[in-house]
Homo-oligomer: A and B are copies of this chain.
Amino acid sequence: MIDTYLLEQLTAVYECGTLSAASEKLHLTQPTLTRSMQKLEDIFGVKLFERTKNRVHLNENGRLAAECARQILMQEQDMVNRVRALDRSSRMLAVGMISPGPMMELNPLLSSLYPGMTIATELRTEEELFEGLNQGIYQMIILNHKLDDDGLSCHPCGSEHLLFAVPLEHRIADKSECSFKDMDGESFLMASEVGYWDHIVRQQMPNAHFLLQNGLEALHELVRASSLPHFATDLTLRLYGRNPQRAYVPISDNAAVEHFFCYCHRSDEKRYLAWFQALERRFQS
């Protein structure tokens, strides 16, 4: 069979167009490539090049071979990636999320269901999440909408409702609810790790200003020392409690509610069955 190094050299020659250019790209000498290309022709038993006296050109055979070689090399790289991803998935459960809310609440449950596994979570855009799920970087991803893809298994995993957290003397502090529009133009303290909420509030309040803080600790520190409004959700209130110095006013817009869904490859569904059953018990009923 054909050695891999020959495939690599062939693709380089194909891409560079000349032996000497390819030799530089590969950090090899020209004679090496001459020999390798001759060896390839020997293996195929077929001319791959048109040779004028001081020029070689891939002919039709050679171009086909080079295209195939490129594909094979890509497939090899894919093999390495897939095997490594599979191995990681056996000791690590990586969850990619569009927003942090659901996992704040569910992480302990997931850890208890898979005690030996390292649970890792990452906030990413939807596009990155799909990419990562397909490459095996994530075993599961959590999106804020439902979709039907035959290759994916989908399970609801809760919702989250955004609130304004304002000082007690703020003009909306006594209201039972408030719209984005009503608060547009104000300045807000905001954590930088809020996932898709960032996109939502900027879209709904294009004239507002957002003062980003890295980390919840730093944010709460600042909240205590400031009279600026910030954000909370029903989830964060349940988990971290209320600050008596603040009034929490639910946001009336539909965009202030996110519904979350946890996806994994259908082929992995049985592997994480216990998790999905737990989600069903918690949110379906």
Contact = CB atoms under 8 A, between A and B. Distances in A.
Contacts of A84: 44-46
Interface stretch (A72-80, A103-111, A156-164, A200-208): A72-80
Nearest to A88: B46
A44 B80 CA distance: 6
B83 A68 contact: yes
Interface in A134-191: none
A129 to B, nearest CB: 23
Instruction: List the 7 closest pairs (A to B, CB-CB), nearest first.
Output: A68-B79, A46-B87, A65-B83, A1-B4, A61-B87, A3-B4, A61-B83
A69 interface: yes
B71 A83 contact: no
Majority-rule SS of A interface residues: helix
A90 interface: yes
A82 B60 contact: no
A8 interface: yes
Interface string A1-29: 11111001000000000000000000000
A87 to B, nearest CB: 4
A4 B6 CA distance: 10
A124 interface: no
A45 B86 CA distance: 12
A73 B44 CA distance: 15
A212 interface: no
B44 A64 contact: no
Interface of A: 1-5, 8, 43-48, 60-61, 64-65, 68-69, 71-73, 75-80, 82-84, 86-87, 90
Nearest to A43: B80
Nearest to A8: B1
Contacts of A46: 83-84, 87
B86 A60 contact: yes
Contacts of A83: 44, 46, 48, 61, 64-65, 68
Given A65-B79, A75-B75, A82-B68, A90 B1 contact: no
B61 A2 contact: no
A44 B76 CA distance: 11
Nearest to A67: B79
Contact of A75 (B61, B65, B72): B72
Contacts of A73: 1
A79 B6 CA distance: 13
A2 B76 contact: yes
A78 B75 CA distance: 14
Contacts of A48: 83
A2 B4 contact: yes
B60 A90 contact: yes
A82 B71 CA distance: 14
